[in-house]
Amino acid sequence: GQQLNQSPQSMFIQEGEDVSMNCTSSSIFNTWLWYKQEPGEGPVLLIALYKAGELTSNGRLTAQFGITRKDSFLNISASIPSDVGIYFCAGQNYGGSQGNLIFGKGTKLSVKP
Amino acid sequence: NAGVTQTPKFRVLKTGQSMTLLCAQDMNHEYMYWYRQDPGMGLRLIHYSVGEGTTAKGEVPDGYNVSRLKKQNFLLGLESAAPSQTSVYFCASSYSAGTPYGYTFGSGTRLTVV
């Protein structure tokens, strides 16, 4: 089945640093989503991307939908301690009969104050 | 608050015991899903439902059963729990097949099987 490769698996950074993570797939998607999961909670949607090449921001977060439709990246600028959590990418082909999300394995972010 | 509610939040089972996890959503979503999350494995789909009275298998369905008797509820059952089913279970819902807005997740049930 479809699989997503998400990297890096974990990151340990200093407060104020920028963060970059990415996701690649062997298959194309027509939607890329980025979720954040805080400890003890379920994933929460951060950014959704619908078009190849699209660049979307949400505060300090910026995500891009790769031009090949097989990859996406998420950048976090000027990290703060509350950015701690696991970030998941997810690909989806909506419009089909199923449209289930395919998730990456996550990037665990730790921020040192 | 509108959203997805999972009960219980924590549970410890002995091997061979059975239990049911309940998921309830008040957003009138058609689709509902059960995932399990294990360290380093991400989120893996167990079963899903595309509407009241329907269920389908996901990626890792063995050892689990589900029912969707009411649109707002999706139940996950473990008939004979095994230690390999120790995990965090998440329920999610969505408005339609492949909604471009993704899924809304519950806050999870942490299950330990000893």
pLDDT tens for residues B24-50? 999 999 999 999 999 888 899 999 999
Q: Does A61 lie at the interface with B, CB-CB under 8 angstroms?
A: no
pLDDT, mean over chain A: 91
Asked if A42's CB is within 8 angstroms of B4's CB, the reply is: yes
Of the partner residues B90, B96, B101, the one whose CB lies closest to the CB of residue A48: B101
Instruction: Determine which of B43, B54, B107 to mutate to test the interface with A (most A C-beta atoms within 10 Å).
Output: B43
| Residue A100, pLDDT above cutoff 80 | no
| Residue A106, min C-alpha distance to chain B (Å) | 6
Of the listed ranges A29-33, A79-83, B109-113, the least confidently predicted one is A29-33
- Given this model, what pLDDT does residue A102 score? 87
Asked if B97's CB is within 8 angstroms of A99's CB, the reply is: yes
- Given this model, what pLDDT does residue B25 score? 97
Q: What's the CA gap between B38 and A1, in Å, rounded?
A: 19
Confidence category of residue A99, pLDDT binned at 50, 70, 90: low
Strand ranges for chain B from DSSP E = 4-7, 10-13, 19-25, 31-38, 42-49, 56-57, 65-67, 73-78, 87-94, 104-105, 109-113
> Over the stretch A3-20, which tens digit does the pLDDT of each residue have?
789 999 999 999 999 999
